[in-house]
Amino acid sequence: MANPDLETDGGDGFPPEVEAFRARVLAADCFLFASPEYNYSVTASLKNALDWASRGSVKCWADKAAAIVCAGYDFNGGRGSLHLRQIGIYLDIHFINKPELHVRMYDDPPSFDADGNLTDAKNRERLKKVLLSLQAFALRLQPKQA
């Protein structure tokens, strides 16, 4: 769990596992956030990861492209997606606006198999569009080479 009491060096030193995670976030060109909606928000583990990489003088998430894929009940994860966007404002994450993929958790027929794989052809095509859009946006956000 994100805990400022574990930070050292004036807030720029972190436990080794957190340092490794922050390095991976910094090295990434973009992010695909995939999470179920949990109590109208993101899961605690996702929020914890966002918080750890937001600490210190180096803002790991800043100026990175991101997309959201979520699953939920009544609104197919839309409330969790919206809350993630709100969190991303402070972290300076740049989300693609369209498309997003929101999947109803208990569709009939189901969108997921017993192993959690997305099997619904329509949603798989929508996921492909999300990934292509994320790739294009990430390339646009990369600094221009001199």
pLDDT reading at 146 higher than 70: no
pLDDT score, position 8: 61
Of 43, 46, 48, 53, nearest to 19 (Cα)?
53
pLDDT score, position 118: 85
Say if 12 falls within a structural domain: no
Nearby residues of 143 by Cβ (< 8 Å), 6 or more positions away: none
CATH code, domain with 85: 3.40.50.360
Say if 146 falls within a structural domain: no
pLDDT score, position 31: 97
pLDDT reading at 5 higher than 70: no
User: What's the pTM value of the predicted model, to 2 decimals?
Assistant: 0.83
Say if 38 falls within a structural domain: yes
SS (H, E, C) the chain: CCCHHHCEHHHCECCHHHHHHHHHHHHCCEEEEEEECECCECCHHHHHHHHHCCCCCCCCCCCCEEEEEEEECCCCCHHHHHHHHHHHHHHCCEECCCCCEEEECCCCCCCECCCCCECCHHHHHHHHHHHHHHHHHHHHHCCCCC
Say if 67 falls within a structural domain: yes
Say if 93 falls within a structural domain: yes
Q: Per-residue pLDDT tens for 84-133?
A: 999 999 999 999 988 888 777 666 777 888 898 888 889 899 999 999 99
Domain of residue 89: give its range. 29-141
Rounded Cα distance, 1 and 81, in Å: 22
Say if 117 falls within a structural domain: yes
**What does the angle CA 75 – CA 80 – CA 84 come to, to the nearest 5 degrees?**
145
By the 8 A CB rule, do 73 and 131 touch?
A: no
Say if 64 falls within a structural domain: yes
Of 75, 73, 53, 70, nearest to 62 (Cα)?
53
Q: How high does pLDDT run on average in the chain?
A: 85
74 — pLDDT class (breaks 50, 70, 90): low
The number of domains in the chain is 1
pLDDT reading at 13 higher than 80: no
Say if 13 falls within a structural domain: no
pLDDT score, position 7: 57
By the 8 A CB rule, do 88 and 49 touch?
A: no
